[in-house]
């Protein structure tokens, strides 16, 4: 479902990059689990751009969810691989096993003179601030956090707006009037998912009960599975997760129950998770187009238009959040209703609750 606004990728593909090709700077990078292998890339973002090749080298540090989290780390990496395909720039990543790895991994990319260093996730904010302040000649960008430094560009999302729309879907499609939300850590970015979702449910179905469960982890599928089991056992038939790879466990629990002909669903997050878990269990997903944000900022640097010290806060108006284009499990009349709410949010007729 989309308002058919022009996507960033379409606009980026029209730009002829003029940077001359030179030898990529920096040596090979190692980490706890560094790899040159990438997850599958969304074909909609991989068409090579015309023009001369870029000289940029871009590094990405994941949070503890890992590059294959089926969520925002993976989406960010897919964006960088698309940037590489479009421009000829070189990209790689370092994977963090814990909070202590953030500063180490960021500094490793500084040492290897990457042109731009990405940090993925709210929890990396303090580490990036520390490293950016100590390395003022390096350029950084971060997803889901605001870092006040002249050499850092921050990108945040209005997750509450897209979550409101999937809340409308859940509120109209629940048969039990019980709906679940499984979050990772109870931090502002995840609270935005929760608050927007609950508001969307209540807007169309004030009698529905939303059960909230925070696992405290983004990399614990077993905890996600246990949380989902508790919520489904309580009578819920739809669960929305915003929990990184912990959400894989929510899907796993639903898949097992589907085998017993249970009429239950999961709403995915960040990516169209039906591509991973199938349409049999995925009702829809709250798309958070991290990949396109990563492409946009990286390409800005390639055009000498890096916005250090600035914050981009992206929502429905920028087509940065919302439902996938295809939603085979949602009836047409409900999709029409979702579109009506989308228009109202963009036009500021509805103010969606948020968290800071």
Kindly state whether residues 149 and 207 are assigned to the same domain.
no
What is residue 65's predicted lDDT score, i.e. its pLDDT? 85
Task: Count how many domains the chain has.
Answer: 2
168 with 194, same domain: the answer is yes
Q: Do residues 48 and 23 both lie within one domain?
A: yes
What letter would DSSP give residue 331? Answer: -
What is the CATH number for 36? 3.40.50.2300
Q: Is residue 1 part of a domain?
A: no
Pairing, β 116-120 against β 57-61: parallel
Query: What is the distance between the alpha carbons of residues 327 and 284, in angstroms, rounded to a whole number?
Result: 6
180 and 86 share a domain? no
274 in the same domain as 199: yes
Give Cβ neighbours of residue 340 (< 8 Å, ≥ 6 apart). none
- Rounded distance between C-alpha atoms, residue 34 and residue 92, angstroms: 8
In a domain, 170, yes or no: yes
**Between vectors from CA 73 to CA 70 and to CA 74, what angle results, nearest 5°?**
45
What would the two tokens of residue 141 be?
A: 């960008």
CA distance 84 to 87: 5
Rounded CA separation 171/331 (Å):
13
The C-alpha atoms of residue 282 and residue 173 are separated, in whole angstroms, by 13
Q: Does 174 share its domain with 196?
A: yes
pTM for the full model? 0.82
Helix H or strand E segment including 302: helix 290-302
Element (H, E) at 105: helix 101-111
User: Looking at residue 40, what is its pLDDT?
Assistant: 31
Same domain, 132 and 242: no
Rounded Cα gap, residues 347 and 61, in angstroms: 36
- 3-class SS of residue 72: helix
pLDDT 10s per residue in the chain (356 long)?
444 344 443 343 333 333 333 333 333 333 333 333 333 333 333 333 445 588 999 999 999 889 998 889 999 999 999 999 999 999 999 999 999 999 999 999 999 999 999 999 999 999 999 999 999 999 999 999 999 999 999 999 999 999 999 999 999 999 999 999 999 999 999 999 999 999 999 999 999 999 999 999 999 999 999 999 999 999 999 999 999 999 999 999 999 999 887 899 999 999 999 999 999 999 999 999 999 999 999 999 999 999 999 999 999 999 999 999 999 999 999 999 999 999 999 999 999 999 98
Query: Is 218 within the bounds of a domain?
Result: yes
Residue 2 maps to a domain: no
In this predicted structure, what is the pLDDT of residue 356?
84
214 and 244 in contact (C-beta within 8 Å)?
no
109 and 52 housed in the same domain: yes
Domain extent for 195: 159-288+321-346
13 and 84 within one domain: yes
Cα torsion 320, 255, 283, 231: sign: negative
31 occurs within a structural domain: yes
Question: Which two structure tokens, joined as six digits, stand for 324?
Answer: 């996938």
Q: Which segments within the chain are labelled E, that is strand?
A: 57-61, 90-94, 116-120, 140-143, 152-157, 178-183, 209-214, 238-242, 265-270, 282-288, 311-314, 321-322
Shared domain for 199 and 67, answered yes or no, is: no
Residue 145 lies in a domain: yes
31 backbone φψ class: left, alpha, beta (φ>0; ψ -120 to 50): beta
Residue 355 lies in a domain: no
In this predicted structure, what is the pLDDT of residue 12? 35
- Compute the distance between CA of residue 285 and CA of residue 274 in angstroms, rounded to an integer: 8
The DSSP letter of residue 35 is B
Query: Closest by alpha carbon to 316, among 284, 349, 283?
Result: 349
DSSP state of 109: H
- Is residue 354 in some structural domain? no
**CA–CA distances in Å: residue 181 to residues 75, 192, 197, 218, 233:** 22, 12, 8, 14, 14
Residues 115 and 171 in one domain: no
Same domain, 119 and 189: no
């Amino acid at each position: 479902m989309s308002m058919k606004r022009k996507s960033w990728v379409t606009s980026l593909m029209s730009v002829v990059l003029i940077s001359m090709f030179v030898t990529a700077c920096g040596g090979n990078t190692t980490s706890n689990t560094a790899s040159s292998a990438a997850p599958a890339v969304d074909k909609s973002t991989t068409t090579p751009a015309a023009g001369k090749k870029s000289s940029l080298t871009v590094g990405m540090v994941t949070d503890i969810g890992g590059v294959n989290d089926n969520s925002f780390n993976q989406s960010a990496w897919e964006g960088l691989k698309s940037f590489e395909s479009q421009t000829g720039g070189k990209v790689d990543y370092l994977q963090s096993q814990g909070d202590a790895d953030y500063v180490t991994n960021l500094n490793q990319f500084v040492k290897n003179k990457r042109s731009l260093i990405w940090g993925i996730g709210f929890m990396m904010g303090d580490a990036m601030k520390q490293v950016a302040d100590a390395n003022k000649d390096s350029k950084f960008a971060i997803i889901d956090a605001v870092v006040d430094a002249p050499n850092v560009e921050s990108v945040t999302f209005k997750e509450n707006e897209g979550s409101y729309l999937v809340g409308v879907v859940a509120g109209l499609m629940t048969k039990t009037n019980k709906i679940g939300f499984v979050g990772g850590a109870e931090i502002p970015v995840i609270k935005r998912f929760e608050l927007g979702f609950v508001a969307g449910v209540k807007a169309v179905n004030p009698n529905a009960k939303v059960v909230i469960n925070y696992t405290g982890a983004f990399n614990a599928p077993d905890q996600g599975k246990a949380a989902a089991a508790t919520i489904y056992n309580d009578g819920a038939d739809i669960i929305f997760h915003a929990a990184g790879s912990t959400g894989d466990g929510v899907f796993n629990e639903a898949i097992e129950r589907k085998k017993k002909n249970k009429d239950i669903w999961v709403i995915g997050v960040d990516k169209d998770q039906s591509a991973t878990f199938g349409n049999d269990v995925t009702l829809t997903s709250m798309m958070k187009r991290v990949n396109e944000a990563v492409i946009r900022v990286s390409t800005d640097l390639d055009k000498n238009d890096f916005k250090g010290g600035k914050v981009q806060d992206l929502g429905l108006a920028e087509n940065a959040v919302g439902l996938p284009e295809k939603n085979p499990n949602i009836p047409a009349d409900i999709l029409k209703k979702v579109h009506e709410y989308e228009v109202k949010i963009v036009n500021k007729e509805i103010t969606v609750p948020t968290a800071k």
